[in-house]
């Protein structure tokens, strides 16, 4: 059995924040391209100020864009895959249903690509935000877990999951029969210190969490190398980082049949990812969109459908209260916390105060 290594980058690029949007996007592109990834999963991309076009231009030469049209929102997910792996790729944007129905326009961008004859499922997602969405967010992860565990071959998901550890365990247990039904890169690599915080509120450094995560389904796939974080440094002359989130880079090894050519033209017969519902017809997109910066129309809600997504500005403001303030959850750490090198440890007087929300960081 031969193997093929796939490098994944996932990053919420904070497109709803208008401050230096284009310069931040260009810096993110530079950092991503320096890693030479095979798959790039972006969340919170917007067409405003031609931000989407910045990414299309940067990745256009060597990558195929996956962003099925007609269902995108004010902000959306976009996946780029190297053209050598793009032949025969099948993609679809699936909406969450039932208890997982999103009030924020969140969905799953699913792509099945041929890796030397093996159908690799790649899921790019941005799950529900804020404390009050815990049940919805957990149900969304259950949906993704079922999708990945039911897939016939290897599967991986990366994105801004807004996840808490207790929610992850519950979703895995209910969907997969065990609270570790899928492998979390963070725990696989023994909780690396510089990966324990992937998001922080710029003006409130105590408010932070490991919201961005990468999982795989253990079907002929495994993590290799450690997690690399992107976006740690501020942009010179701008004074802000590329995003309020850090990007995650992780390499995965896929088992492939020995002797199969590595050429992108390798014959393939792969199935599309199993739909999570039958109500709506899947939309496929196997090529870059012709007009990436074209203004996107908001879909009109049908009778009985879920409410329209939140406007980007409303969501940005709601972020300011996305953390818990319940006293019973405000537990002071027993030991001195370890802070990544790019973050400043709080002063002694600040360290004694509990975070606005105590998020699972262990």
195-239 pLDDT, tens digit each = 999 999 877 878 899 999 999 999 999 999 999 999 999 999 999
Compute the mean pLDDT over every residue in the chain, rounded to the nearest whole number.
80
CB 260 within 8 A of CB 11: no
The predicted structure's pLDDT at residue 273: 54
Q: Is 42 helix (H, G, I), strand (E, B) or coil?
A: strand
Higher pLDDT: 290 or 105? It is 105
Q: Is 128 helix (H, G, I), strand (E, B) or coil?
A: coil
Would residue 295 count as lying in a domain?
no
DSSP secondary structure, 276-319, as one string: S-SSS------S--S-TTSPPPPPPPPTTPPPPPPPHHHHHHHH
CATH code for the domain in which residue 196 is found: 3.60.10.10
The predicted structure's pLDDT at residue 312: 54
254-310 pLDDT, tens digit each = 999 875 434 333 333 445 555 554 333 334 444 433 333 344 444 444 444 444 444
The predicted structure's pLDDT at residue 157: 98
Would residue 243 count as lying in a domain?
yes
Would residue 286 count as lying in a domain?
no
**Listed residue (16, 19, 80, 68) closest to 47, CA to CA:** 16
The predicted structure's pLDDT at residue 203: 78
CB 279 within 8 A of CB 265: no
Sheet holding 39-45, edge to edge: 63-66, 76-82, 39-45, 2-12, 247-256, 221-230
The domain total for the chain is 1
Would residue 172 count as lying in a domain?
yes
Burial class (CB in 10 A: 0-12, 13-18, 19+), 243: buried
State the pTM of this model.
0.77
Helix then strand then coil, % of the chain, to nearest 5: 25, 25, 50
The predicted structure's pLDDT at residue 204: 82
The predicted structure's pLDDT at residue 324: 40
Tell me which residue range forms the domain holding 252: 2-256
Per-residue pLDDT averaged across 8-13, rounded? 98
Residue 313 pLDDT level (bands cut at 50, 70, 90) = low
Would residue 112 count as lying in a domain?
yes
Would residue 309 count as lying in a domain?
no
Would residue 336 count as lying in a domain?
no
DSSP secondary structure, 113-124, as one string: EEETTEEEEEEE
Would residue 190 count as lying in a domain?
yes
157-206 pLDDT, tens digit each = 999 999 999 999 999 999 999 999 999 999 999 999 999 999 998 778 78
Residue 232 pairs with which residues in a beta bridge?
Answer: none
Q: Which distant-in-sequence residues (6+ apart) come within 8 Å of 5 by Cβ?
A: 224, 251, 252, 253, 254
The predicted structure's pLDDT at residue 15: 96
């Amino acid at each position: 059995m031969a193997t093929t290594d796939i490098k994944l980058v996932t990053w919420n690029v904070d497109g709803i924040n208008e401050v230096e949007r284009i310069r931040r996007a260009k810096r993110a592109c530079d950092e991503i391209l320096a890693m030479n990834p095979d798959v790039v999963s972006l969340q919170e991309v917007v067409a405003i100020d031609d931000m989407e076009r910045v990414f299309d231009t940067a990745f256009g030469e060597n990558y195929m864009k996956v962003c099925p049209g007609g269902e995108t929102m004010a902000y959306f997910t976009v996946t780029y895959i190297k053209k050598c792996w793009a032949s025969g790729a099948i993609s679809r944007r699936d909406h969450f249903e039932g208890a997982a129905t999103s009030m924020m326009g969140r969905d799953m961008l699913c792509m099945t690509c041929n890796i030397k004859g093996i159908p690799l499922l790649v899921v790019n997602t941005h799950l529900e935000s804020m404390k009050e969405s815990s049940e919805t967010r957990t149900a969304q992860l259950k949906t993704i877990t079922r999708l990945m565990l039911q897939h016939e071959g290897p599967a991986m998901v990366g994105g801004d999951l807004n996840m808490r550890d207790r929610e992850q365990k519950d979703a895995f247990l209910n969907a997969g029969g065990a609270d570790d039904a899928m492998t979390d890169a963070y725990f696989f690599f023994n909780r690396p210190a510089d990966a324990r915080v992937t998001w922080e509120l710029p003006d409130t450094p105590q408010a932070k969490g490991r919201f961005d995560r990468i999982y795989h389904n253990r079907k002929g796939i495994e993590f290799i190398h450690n997690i690399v974080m992107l976006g740690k440094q501020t942009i010179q002359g701008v004074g802000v980082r590329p995003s309020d989130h850090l990007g995650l880079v992780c390499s995965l090894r896929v088992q492939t049949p020995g002797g199969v050519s590595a050429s992108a033209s390798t014959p393939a017969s792969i199935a599309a990812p199993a739909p999570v519902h039958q109500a709506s017809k899947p939309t496929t997109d196997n090529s870059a969109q012709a007009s990436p910066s074209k203004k996107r129309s908001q879909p009109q809600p049908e009778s009985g459908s879920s409410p329209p997504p939140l406007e980007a500005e409303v969501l940005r403001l709601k972020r300011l209260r996305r953390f818990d303030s319940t006293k019973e959850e405000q537990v002071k750490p027993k030991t001195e916390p370890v802070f990544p090198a790019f973050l400043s440890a709080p002063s002694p007087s600040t360290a004694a105060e509990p975070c606005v929300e105590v998020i699972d960081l262990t």
